[in-house]
Amino acid sequence: MSTRTIHEGDGVRFLREARLEPGHAIITSLPDVSEGTLSFPAWRAWFVETAALACRAVHDDDVALFFQTDVKREGTWVDKGYLVQRGAEEAGSALLFHRVVCRAPPGTITFGRPAYAHLLGFSRRRRLPPEASSADVLPRLGAMPWARAMGVAACEAAVDFVKRRALSHTVVDPFCGLGTVLAVANRHGLHGIGVELSRKRAERARALVLRPEDAEAPSRRRRPGAS
């Protein structure tokens, strides 16, 4: 039976101290500049460093996956996919795939955040044969248990990859929020380990149960407290 363990604490500290055994994959979203107190230059450096820590934390043959949504700042784009790739390069990890996840239908005009998100996968030693190729554009994000969640459909794609292609048995999310990706991992028979700084969110992450239809739901926010 799959298990879910949520630690209350600092995800960066967890990554610095982590010695993950083979079979552990990281699937996470690194926090946005708006979620902390760092200046933008300090956050940018922190983001790259933390992406590198996540890539180093997994075994050479295992994978680290990142789901990130860009933001606008003073009329320019902050490309988080680029920042993640800088961190991965520092860690000696190669890009296995870069998928685009539609947050809104194609042709939609958005403000502040784009109509797409990045889903990127890295490994230091694992490589994918041509027959492991998959769609580069995912048509829907899926339901979001909270405003900062990784949509359920995106979680399904990430978990399916680490289970079938990386042969992982455990998903680790050092910035787990309400635990969406861990709940999806459990539904696929994988163990989940999360780290969350907020006690209230950690409690909710331990209890989160998702509905099968959430993966097909429109990419919209759900009211706070919904599961």
Confidence of residue 136 (pLDDT cuts 50, 70, 90): very high
Average pLDDT of the chain is 93
Domains of the chain plus CATH, in order, are 4-216 (3.40.50.150)
4-8/191-196 β-pairing: parallel
Confidence of residue 219 (pLDDT cuts 50, 70, 90): low
In this structure, of 17-31, 91-105, 209-223, the range with the lowest mean pLDDT score is: 209-223
Which pLDDT belongs to residue 227? Answer: 25
What is the percent of the chain where pLDDT is above 90?
A: 83
Which pLDDT belongs to residue 221? Answer: 43
Q: What totals of helices (H) and strands (E) does the chain contain, helices first?
A: 6, 10
- In the predicted model, is pLDDT for residue 153 greater than 60? yes
